[in-house]
Structure 1
Amino acid sequence: MNANRYATKKTVAQGMLDIALLTSNASQLRYLLKVGDAHEYYEPMLALIISSIVLQLIVAALFMALGFLDIDDKHQQKAADAINNSTLILVFGITVINAIISGFGIRHTDTKVGGLPATEIR
């Protein structure tokens, strides 16, 4: 088993999940900006969604850096371990933030804007 190849595949798979979450956060941000102050928790939600997106971009950059490291090289193992630990902490933070976002409830179908259900807003 090639550990380098395994780590690269793991990083790519994690990146795909990050893209899905980033897309979801972008959609939530778009909706929140359309609704504006009509949303009960507009400012906290805005801060949380933007924080999540920024952290995801940082994690993506760290994963790219990790992808370029050769974990078979003794000199790069320490850096790879530090980056891996950092991404673990950041991913945990992103998970907590997104759990809070879900708790506040961005529901596209429950809110009316300008008399129209949110599903009719484009």
Structure 2
Amino acid sequence: MATESLEMNGDADRHGEAEMPLHGRRRREQGPLNMNRYANKKSAAESMLDVALLMANASQLKAVMEQGPEFTFYVPLIILISISLILQIVVGILLIFIVKWNLNDESMHYKLNIMENLTTAFVFIIVVINVFITVFGVQRPHIPSASSPSPK
């Protein structure tokens, strides 16, 4: 029984033999990585996460507004959630532009690099802001149910 040692990329000890497409657990040999397709998939995944956070922040904003100005952290939470929502929209727009431009066009690399760095910085800021939103706490107002006694 021969032992087969494979490196991370699976090319060790193959001595130039071509891998045949197999079904099941073994991987198929694929062509070179298409950077545009990779970047598009990555940006699409980031966009989906951005949409999920956007919906959560909108829900938090609604909850804070329902509690009204008597809530202790009303103004700070309104400001933080609003900044988070605005930055998420900016990140979404940046991701749209990043996806539309061709990574193989070297004249666009400088602009794409700046946009990627801005996107990363804004995402970091959004995460920090959302940590503070969580710290201040957003509680939904207590709505009495039909079975609970009414205050007298």
Match of 2:130 among 82, 88, 98: 98
1:120 counterpart residue number: none
Unaligned runs of 5+ residues in structure 1 are 118-122
Offset at residue 112 of structure 1 (A): 3.2
Residue 106 (structure 1) shift: 0.8
4+ residue stretches of structure 1 with deviation over 6 A?
Answer: none
Q: RCO (CA 8 Å, sep 6+): is it higher in 1 or 2?
A: 1
Q: Hey, what does 2:5 align to over in structure 1? A: none
Gap runs ≥5 in structure 2: 1-32, 146-152
The match for 2:96 is 64
**Which whole-Å CA distance do the structure 2 matches of 1:38 and 1:22 have between them?**
25
TM-score between both structures, scaled by the size of structure 1: 0.88
The one-letter amino acid paired with 2:55 is T
| Rounded Cα–Cα distance in structure 2 between residues aligned with 1:41 and 1:107 | 11
The yes-or-no answer on 1:78 pairing with 2:127 is no
> Which protein shows a greater Rg?
2
Aligned residues: 113
Report the Cα offset of residue 67 of structure 1: 0.8
Measure, in 2, the Cα distance between the counterparts of 1:102 and 1:8. 31
* SS of residue matched to 2:69: helix
Residue type of the alignment partner of 1:84: E
Tell me the residue number matched to 1:2. 34
**Root-mean-square deviation over aligned CA pairs:** 1.3
Which amino acid in the other structure matches residue 23 of structure 1? Answer: M
- Residue 25, structure 1, aligned to residue 57, structure 2: yes
Of Structure 1 and Structure 2, the greater helix share is in 1
Identical amino acids, percent of aligned pairs: 36
Post-superposition CA distance 1:84-105 (Å, at most 9, x none) = 0000000000000000000011
* Secondary structure, counterpart of 2:102 in structure 1: coil
